[in-house]
Amino acid sequence: MKSKKSIGFIGAGAMAEALIKGLLKSEVYHPSQIHISDIRADRLEELKESYGIETSRANQDLVKRVDYLILAVKPKVIPIVLKQIGEDISKSQKLFSLAAGVNTVLLEKYLKEEVAVIRLMPNTPALIGEGAIAYCLGTAAQDDSKLVEQIFGTVGRTLKVEEELMDAVTGLSGSGPAYIYLIIEALADAGVNVGLSRDDALSLVLQTIIGSAKMVLELGAHPGQLKDMVTSPGGTTITGLKVLEREGVRSALYQAVEAATIKSKELRGEK
């Protein structure tokens, strides 16, 4: 169903573009309903030419023209932007933030009215419509889950969580693609090491990861159960798994997620 609402993005980075592509592909929003502002005139012109959307160099002007406002800027820029526009955002609008580590209390502090605030943590696979998008709702946004799905479901799967878990989300799915890319690269290198060509090794790794993830999703089985299906007594798989456990791969992933979660808290001055 077509939406009659307008959406504005402050910040014209890759995530904003991914959402614009998803919204237009869904056909719920027309290009004329999507507005974007940024300090880079060349970037705005590029997006206007690519998608036919409305652009602006002034954040205050954009705020006056939209129903839903999406902050797609770096966490350190959030206070600067909200000092500019906080008093211009009315309770009839919705405010979404994609900034890691910036909680709803901080966002609400800059607003003069009780505005519905939604904090989200998408990850980069949203660029191809396969993102993991966790979100939490501010005090005035408790009935907005359906709206979040309508907008952000266009670029992946949405999941509502309590706000105290958003740092954990950042450490797991927010940073997670980088962990997976590292694993892909390492497995492909390992394939080359045992004699496969680079292209063949990468192709096999990619399909193995895609197929394994789909089995978990579609069969609904625990990953450990599926792992056991591949692992014959005294066979090749258990031999490889023994090495992974010995070298601390599982422990390294635990520590990576924990460290990234802590860093998310540090971004707003928490320990």
Closest CA to 159 of 264, 172, 180, 270: 172
Closest CA to 158 of 35, 262, 53, 22: 22
Return binding residues for NADP(+). Answer: 10-15, 72-75
Return binding residues for NADPH. Answer: 59
CA distance readout (Å), 88 to 47, 85, 111 = 25, 5, 8
Closest CA to 48 of 71, 56, 18: 56
**3-state secondary structure (DSSP) of residue 120:** strand
CA distance readout (Å), 35 to 63, 157, 170 = 9, 24, 27
To which residue do tokens 């792992």 refer? 227
β-strand 7-10 against 34-37: which pairing, if any?
A: parallel
CA distance readout (Å), 160 to 16, 68, 137, 250 = 20, 19, 8, 27
Strand spans (E) along the chain: 7-10, 34-37, 54-56, 68-71, 94-97, 116-121, 131-137, 156-160
Tokens of 20: 């614009």
Return binding residues. Answer: 10-15, 59, 72-75
